[in-house]
């Protein structure tokens, strides 16, 4: 059910709403292997979790979703003003990933968002290979017409939970 409809029908408290918003952002990134050439990680997606709109620092990315299903929305960047940190992003291609349909990030149009849509009604696990590894990316705030650098964190590395990570 659409979140707005849920809020109205179930009268969620503000606390519930904030928790829901946090869940959208806090998908877990789990490092499996990393060297100077590539890194491999799994990302776990609760139902309704979306990534931010981001790039991959001009690095290649191959990905698949062996569990569940994920929607990928690509964007074209226009009117980029590095001095002001502003740009306009325009939605372009949409595709879906699942166990039978791996994908890659188009180097010519590398800005995208990954979504485990509520209507998929299933948790998802994706596998990503990045070459070369990167530890920050640009995130794009479509409504504000801005973009900025953001650090990337791992929830776990080589099977060990990051001490700062809290399991819900
Ligand atoms: Fe990505």
pLDDT digits (tens, 9 = 90+) for 55-79: 999 999 999 999 999 999 999 999 9
CB-based burial label for 155 (10 Å; 0-12, 13-18, 19+):
buried
46 CA to middle of ligand 1, Å? 17
Q: How far is the CA of 114 from the centre of ligand 1 (A)?
A: 7
Residues 131-153: tens digit of each pLDDT = 999 999 999 999 999 999 999 99
Ligand 1 midpoint to CA 161 (Å):
22
| Token reading at 110 | 């590398």
Higher pLDDT, 57 or 15: 57
Q: Are 17 and 27 in contact (CB under 8 A)?
A: no
What are the φ and ψ backbone dihedral angles of 15, each rounded to 5 degrees?
-60, -45
CB 31 within 8 A of CB 158: yes
CA of 130 from ligand 1 middle (Å) equals 9
Please report where in the chains the tokens 């290649």 appear, as a residue.
60
pLDDT class of 168 with cuts at 50, 70, 90: low
Mean pLDDT of the chain: 87
3-state secondary structure at position 119: helix
**Which residues make Cβ contacts (< 8 Å) with residue 46, sequence separation at least 6?**
23, 27, 116, 123
Q: Where are the domains of the chain?
A: 3-161
Distance CA 4, CA 113 (A): 21
pLDDT value of position 165? 81
Find the 165 Cα to ligand 1 centroid distance in Å: 21
Cα of 44 to ligand 1 centre, how many Å? 13
Check: CATH 2.60.120.10 for 3-161? yes
pLDDT classification of 25: cutoffs 50, 70, 90: low
Measure 81 CA to ligand 1 centroid, in angstroms. Answer: 22
Q: Quick one: pLDDT at residue 62? A: 97
Q: What is the pLDDT of residue 96?
A: 97
Query: Can you tell me the distance from the alpha carbon of 150 to that of 92, in angstroms, rounded to the nearest whole number?
Result: 23
CA angle 168, 125, 23 (to 5 degrees): 35
- Confidence category of residue 166, pLDDT binned at 50, 70, 90: confident
C-alpha distances out from residue 90 to 124, 143, 151, Å: 26, 11, 24
């Amino acid at each position: 059910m659409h979140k707005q409809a849920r809020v109205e029908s179930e009268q969620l408290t503000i606390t519930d709403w904030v928790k829901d918003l946090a869940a959208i952002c806090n998908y877990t990134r789990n490092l499996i292997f990393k060297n100077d050439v590539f890194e491999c990680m799994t990302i776990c997606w609760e139902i309704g979790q979306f990534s931010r709109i981001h790039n991959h620092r001009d690095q290649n990315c191959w990905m698949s979703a062996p569990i569940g299903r994920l929607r990928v929305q690509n964007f074209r960047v226009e009117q980029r003003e590095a001095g002001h940190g502003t740009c306009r992003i325009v939605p372009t291609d949409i595709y879906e990933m699942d166990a039978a349909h791996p994908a890659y990030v188009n180097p010519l149009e590398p800005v995208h968002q990954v979504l485990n849509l509520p209507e998929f009604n299933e948790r998802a696990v994706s596998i990503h290979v990045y070459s070369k590894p990167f530890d920050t990316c640009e995130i794009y705030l479509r409504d504000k017409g801005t973009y900025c650098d953001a650090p990337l964190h791992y929830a776990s590395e080589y099977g060990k939970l990051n001490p700062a990570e809290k399991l819900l």
